[in-house]
């Protein structure tokens, strides 16, 4: 085949497709719109880069690497998030894990998971102890099967109560495992470890009513990371946001609903593991504030690259009255109102009428059985499609394919669907789900199931 093609090229029987329609790189959106209307062009569409410029490579995430000849300590690591972390570490080379928590190994679920790690060729030690008990921790550390090379400090204890109603015992419940536990790890674990990652929370930065004790515990960890770095010891801290598919939020639907309302879009497990990998790499003392390398790169200003902060993006514009983001009125975030941009697909109608409609049916899901509700969703979907295609109003009796939607545009419509309706749909469902009106009915059914479940 190769010889045949070369021969045809030599004989000039194969030529470049013509004509060529060129667009500058800054107008790449127009190039894609031109491609969407297949009947209006022939030949090739080419995107031109400015003369002399090269296309930079996007940075890639390196593959995580953990040592098989070392032990890694996971404090509080047998919850949903901890198990996901443990599996991730084993998949990337870890062969010795030590779990420390008050209930480690006591449940059948824990035993099943430890057996699963064993089948993955990992020796899993577990010690049911209180991390605040220095003597018990020292004894556990002395029993490590291999030298300890890293640790994750991730205890989570909540005791929510208004500050003026909070007694001393309630105040200490989240503080003791995080604060005293961190000191014990600092004093007992080897000083030459590769990393120590402290699990903090965005609640320590934003603050949230009823969680002043939890916020205090987390702000301590934020500062403690700077203290350890000042001693030349490895450490990093993660201010973690709510994670949708594993852990506490995934197990509590009512908590999840409240967090979505107050926090915007929740984080995914894969996003969390990527940021954990970054936190591990930045435990190195080369990232400590005040180091010559860091100060030079920052031009003398202060920063703490070993503090990784999870950002929860807004599900609705900050100007929307239905937006209840916890930092909405925080003066430190006021610049966000000036820089936020609303996508072209999110029209004024979508930002107001659809939001009000969804708020109404969330309180009374039975309304979604009515044809009027289906029509509202279908019309908003039609508006979205017409915006992406740059066309006039689209007939609801058309399928999305007949309206001119291809797989690329279908991806954009799926993103609009998930962001504005808060439910999932696949590209295949969009392209084969019938007319736009029928897709509206599909959305109504899924919304009803979601609101009834919540």
pLDDT of 44 higher than 60: yes
What is the tens place of the pLDDT at every residue in 88-111? 999 999 999 999 999 998 999 999
Give the pLDDT confidence score for residue 342 in this predicted structure: 46
What is the tens place of the pLDDT at every residue in 196-249? 999 998 888 777 778 899 999 999 999 999 999 989 999 999 998 877 766 555
Query: Structure tokens of 177?
Result: 């495992």
Q: What is the DSSP pairing of strand 20-24 with strand 123-128? A: unpaired
Mean pLDDT comparison of 317-321, 323-327, 357-361, 364-368, highest-scoring range? 364-368
Task: Look up the pTM and report it.
Answer: 0.63
Confidence of residue 37 (pLDDT cuts 50, 70, 90): low
What is the tens place of the pLDDT at every residue in 383-441? 888 888 777 778 889 898 888 888 878 888 888 888 888 888 888 888 888 899 999 99
CA–centroid distance for 98 within its chain:
27
Q: What is the mean pLDDT of residues 158-186?
A: 93
pLDDT of 340 higher than 90: no
Q: What is the mean pLDDT of residues 160-179?
A: 92
pLDDT of 266 higher than 80: no
Mean pLDDT comparison of 134-138, 325-329, 362-366, 370-374, highest-scoring range? 134-138
**Distance separating alpha carbons of residues 438 and 443, to the nearest angstrom:** 9
CA–centroid distance for 36 within its chain:
32
Least-confidence region, from 58-62, 135-139, 260-264: 260-264
Contacts of 355 (CB under 8 A, 6+ apart): 316, 320, 322
pLDDT higher for 22 or 315?
22
pLDDT of 53 higher than 90: no
Q: What is the mean pLDDT of residues 110-133?
A: 95
Least-confidence region, from 32-46, 58-72, 169-183, 231-245: 32-46
Give the max Cα distance, the chain: 89
Q: Which fold has domain 71-309?
A: Rossmann fold (3.40.50)
Q: What is the mean pLDDT of residues 36-45?
A: 72
pLDDT of 316 higher than 90: no
Query: Structure tokens of 293?
Result: 């390398």
78-to-95, 130, 361 alpha-carbon distances in Å: 17, 14, 38
pLDDT of 123 higher than 60: yes
Instruction: Give the angle subtended at the CA of 270 by the CAs of 264 and 272, to the nearest 5°.
Output: 65
Query: Structure tokens of 170?
Result: 């309630």
Give the pLDDT confidence score for residue 14 in this predicted structure: 87
pLDDT of 449 higher than 60: yes
Least-confidence region, from 17-21, 103-107, 121-125, 220-224: 17-21
Boundaries of every domain in the chain: 16-50, 71-309, 348-453
Give the pLDDT confidence score for residue 348 in this predicted structure: 47
Least-confidence region, from 7-16, 68-77, 146-155, 174-183: 7-16
Average pLDDT, the chain: 83
Phi and psi at 309, nearest 5°, equal -115, 125
Mean pLDDT comparison of 37-46, 114-123, 337-346, highest-scoring range? 114-123
Give the pLDDT confidence score for residue 261 in this predicted structure: 57
**Distance separating alpha carbons of residues 150 and 77, to the nearest angstrom:** 14
Give the pLDDT confidence score for residue 406 in this predicted structure: 82
**Distance separating alpha carbons of residues 282 and 305, to the nearest angstrom:** 7
**Distance separating alpha carbons of residues 189 and 194, to the nearest angstrom:** 11
Q: What is the mean pLDDT of residues 161-172?
A: 91
**Distance separating alpha carbons of residues 225 and 227, to the nearest angstrom:** 5
Query: 3-state secondary structure string, the chain?
Result: CHHHHHHHHHCCCCCCCCCEEEEEHHHHHHHHHHHHCHHHCCCEEEEECCCCCCCCCCCCCCCCCCCCCCEEEEECCCCHHHHHHHHHHHHCCCCEEEEEECCCCCCHHHHHHHHHHHHCCCEEEEEECCCCCHHHHHHHHHCCCCCEEEEEECCCCCCCCCHHHCCHHHHHHHHHHHHHHHHHHHHHCCCCCCEEEEEEECHHHHCCCCCHHHHHHHHHHHHHHHHHHHCCCCCEEEEECCECCCCHHHHCHHHHHHHHHHHCCCECHHHHHHHHHHHHHCCCHHHCCCCHHHHHHHCCCCCCCCEEECCCCCCCCCCCCCCCCCCCCCHHHCCHHHHCCCCCCCCHHHHHHHHHHHHHHHHCHHHHHCHHHHHHHHHHHHHHHHHHHCCCCCCCCCECCCCCCCHHHHHHHHHHHHHHHCCCCCHHHHHHCCEHHHHHHHHHHHHHHHHHHC
pLDDT of 181 higher than 70: yes
Pair 404, 37: CB distance under 8 Å: yes
Give the pLDDT confidence score for residue 421 in this predicted structure: 86
135-to-143, 151, 185, 369 alpha-carbon distances in Å: 13, 18, 11, 62
pLDDT of 334 higher than 80: no
Pair 223, 292: CB distance under 8 Å: no
Q: Which fold has domain 348-453?
A: 1.10.1200
Pair 126, 99: CB distance under 8 Å: yes
Give the pLDDT confidence score for residue 151 in this predicted structure: 97
């Amino acid at each position: 085949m190769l010889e045949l093609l070369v021969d045809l090229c030599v004989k000039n029987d194969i030529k470049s497709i013509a004509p060529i329609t060129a667009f500058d790189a800054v107008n790449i959106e127009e190039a894609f719109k031109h491609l969407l209307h297949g009947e209006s062009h022939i030949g090739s569409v080419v995107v031109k880069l400015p003369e002399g410029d090269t296309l930079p490579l996007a940075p890639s995430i390196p593959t995580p690497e953990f040592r098989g000849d070392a032990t890694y300590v996971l404090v509080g690591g047998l919850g949903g998030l901890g198990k996901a972390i443990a599996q991730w570490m084993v998949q990337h080379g870890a062969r010795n894990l030590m779990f420390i928590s008050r209930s480690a190994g006591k449940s059948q679920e824990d035993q099943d998971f430890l057996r699963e790690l064993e089948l993955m060729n990992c020796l899993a030690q577990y010690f049911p102890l209180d991390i605040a008990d220095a003597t018990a921790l020292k004894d556990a550390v002395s029993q490590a099967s291999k030298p300890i090379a890293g640790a994750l400090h991730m205890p989570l204890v909540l005791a929510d109560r208004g500050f003026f109603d909070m007694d001393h015992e309630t105040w200490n419940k989240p503080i003791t495992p995080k604060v005293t536990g961190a000191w014990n790890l600092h004093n007992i674990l080897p000083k030459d470890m590769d990393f120590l990652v402290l699990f903090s929370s965005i609640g320590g930065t934003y603050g949230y009513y009823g969680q002043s004790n939890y916020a205090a515990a987390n702000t301590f960890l934020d500062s403690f990371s700077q203290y350890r770095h000042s001693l030349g010891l490895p450490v990093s801290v993660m201010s973690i946001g709510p994670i949708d598919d594993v852990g506490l939020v995934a197990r509590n639907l009512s908590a999840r609903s409240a967090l979505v309302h107050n926090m915007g879009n929740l984080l995914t497990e894969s996003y969390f593991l990527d940021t954990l990998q970054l936190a591990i790499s930045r435990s190195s003392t080369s990232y400590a504030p005040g180091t010559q390398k860091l100060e030079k790169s920052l031009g003398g200003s202060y920063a703490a690259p070993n503090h990784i902060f999870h950002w929860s993006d807004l599900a609705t514009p900050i100007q929307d009255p239905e937006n209840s983001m916890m930092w909405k009125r925080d003066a430190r975030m006021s610049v966000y109102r000036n820089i936020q941009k609303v996508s072209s697909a999110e029209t004024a109608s979508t930002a107001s009428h659809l939001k009000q409609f969804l708020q109404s049916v969330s309180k009374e899901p039975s309304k979604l059985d009515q044809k009027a509700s289906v029509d509202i969703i279908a019309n908003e979907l039609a508006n979205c499609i017409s915006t992406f295609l740059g066309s006039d109003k689209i007939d609801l009796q058309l399928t999305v394919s007949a309206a001119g939607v291809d797989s690329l545009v279908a991806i954009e419509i799926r993103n609009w669907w998930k962001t504005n309706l808060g439910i999932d749909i696949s590209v295949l469902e969009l392209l084969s789900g019938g007319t736009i009106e029928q897709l509206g009915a599909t959305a109504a059914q899924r919304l009803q199931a979601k609101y009834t479940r919540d």
